[in-house]
Amino acid sequence: MTRVLLTGFEPFGGEETNPSWEAVRAAAARAPEGLALSTARLPCAFGTALDALREAVERTAPDLVLCVGQAGGRPDVTVERIAVNIDDARIPDNAGARPVDEPVVPGGPAAYFSTLPVKACVAAVREAGLPASVSQTAGTFVCNHVFYGLMHLAATERPGLRGGFVHVPYAPAQVTDRALPSLPVPAVAEALCVIAVTAAGRTTDIRAEGGATH
């Protein structure tokens, strides 16, 4: 039994819902075989999001952490490759903070790679008939902040803890009149289950192209 912590976010940026949290809840309800799933809903705010993540990690003592966030405008489920040590907020977070070019962790390394088998996760979601790809950037807002904080926690305090970040598209109801890509929450939840099972089942990645020319 692999203990997996799945986190999603509260709504932000004027949205009334956040598909990351809706999909995390729906994934947990499916109870994928072989996994003991816990969930946590993180505030969309620099600092307090990481406090909540740390609290959830301490409470659930997971083997694997999948943090999930909304990537409005992306058409597919994206497994992030790398977290960077920078906060640069294009919009205010839910507490009104808007840091510019501040480190997530002062003195921390410039970046951490995900310790998920990123390529295997992408391949497994595609195999399930759903669109997925590797992403080379998780941005510089609260999603990347949480992703970096998670990897720093694992690197400095939780040896053996593996983890990573997954971005998910808007839900259809968020974009009824905006002509932006979307994916229903049940499809996203299925993708998250596939990713959790894949990541729980292997520590090495497959060899598969997932790069970008720029």
Binding site for a second copy (CB under 8 A): 13, 69-72, 74-76, 81-82, 84, 86-91, 98, 100-101, 109-113, 119, 125-126, 129-134, 136-141, 143, 167, 172-173, 175-184, 187, 205, 207-214
* Catalytic residue (choose from 143, 145, 152, 190): 143
Rounded to a whole number of angstroms, the minimum distance from the CB of residue 167 to a second copy is 6
Q: What is the DSSP string of the chain?
A: -EEEEEEEE---TT-S--HHHHHHHHHHHH--TTEEEEEEEEPSSTTHHHHHHHHHHHHH--SEEEEEEE-TT--SEEEE-EEES-EE-SS--TTS---EEE-SSTT--SEEE--S-HHHHHHHHHHTT--EEEES---SSHHHHHHHHHHHHHHHT-TT-EEEEEEEPBPGGG-TTT---B--HHHHHHHHHHHHHHHHH-SSPP--------
Q: Is 214 a catalytic residue?
A: no
Rounded to a whole number of angstroms, the minimum distance from the CB of residue 73 to a second copy is 8
Q: Is 209 a catalytic residue?
A: no
Between 140 and 198, name the residue whose CB sits nearer to a second copy: 140
* Catalytic residue (choose from 22, 44, 67, 80): 80
Rounded to a whole number of angstroms, the minimum distance from the CB of residue 60 to a second copy is 26
